[in-house]
């Protein structure tokens, strides 16, 4: 009788385990779907912003014209600003989800159990995004120095009188330095590895 009861308990726990695994798999699938959608949106937005940067560098007079004739009210520079913001948000979201997935699927967690804290993953995602976008922004504004240097002294966008293109380039450089520093620190903390000197044998 006791053997029969034990087998029933084992069957119940096995069924619960299967249900739990199925629910976990479905949840992981939804998270992965969201990650891939955000990655695609980030890529598309970044490509749209890059196209407006090319226009701004070589045909700055076209920035006030529509980005797409089907939307005559959407200026090219306005479209670029919106695409830049969308790329930033989607990059942070997709990278955060990717880092979390890699941490869950990794061979082992950090030794101190703090490597997978969401705030650290979020900090790394933001730092990587800032580093990437700031680098491209510095490159774009540096090309403008060659093609039309006079615009460095005027406002960077038509939406606000400040900052100028020259000031924005310096701000982007500072953002690159800070974000790369945060990236390096956060990667070490997430990895949970410390370098130890080998002890000399006696």
pLDDT, tens only, 58-116: 999 999 999 999 999 999 999 999 999 999 999 999 999 999 988 877 655 544 444 45
Place of tokens 């310096």: 170
Which pair of structure tokens corresponds to residue 55?
């226009």
Q: Counting beta carbons within 10 angstroms of the beta carbon of residue 163, is it exposed (0 to 12), middle (13 to 18) or buried (19 or more)?
A: middle
Domain boundaries, the chain: 31-191
Residue 73: its pLDDT value, please?
A: 94
CA end-to-end distance (rounded Å), the chain: 63
Q: Model pTM?
A: 0.79
Q: Which residue from 37, 50, 48, 140 is spatially nearest to 91, judged by alpha carbons?
A: 37
């Amino acid at each position: 009788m006791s053997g029969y009861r034990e087998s029933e308990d084992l069957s119940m726990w096995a069924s619960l385990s299967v249900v739990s695994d199925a629910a976990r798999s479905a949840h992981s699938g939804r998270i992965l779907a969201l990650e891939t959608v955000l990655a695609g949106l980030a890529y598309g937005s970044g490509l749209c912003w890059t196209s407006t940067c090319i226009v701004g560098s070589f045909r700055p007079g076209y920035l006030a014209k529509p980005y797409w004739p089907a939307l005559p009210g959407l200026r090219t520079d306005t479209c670029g600003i919106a695409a830049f913001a969308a790329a930033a948000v989607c990059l942070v979201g997709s990278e955060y989800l990717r880092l979390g997935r890699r941490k869950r699927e990794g061979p082992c967690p950090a030794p101190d159990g703090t490597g997978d804290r969401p705030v650290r993953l979020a900090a790394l995602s933001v730092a990587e995004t800032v580093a990437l976008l700031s680098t491209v922004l510095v490159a774009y504004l540096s090309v403008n120095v060659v093609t039309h240097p006079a615009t460095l002294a005027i406002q960077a966008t038509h939406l606000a009188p400040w900052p100028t293109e020259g000031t924005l380039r310096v701000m982007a450089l500072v953002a690159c330095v800070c974000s790369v520093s945060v990236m390096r620190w956060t990667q070490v903390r997430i990895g949970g590895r410390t370098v130890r000197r080998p002890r000399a044998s006696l």
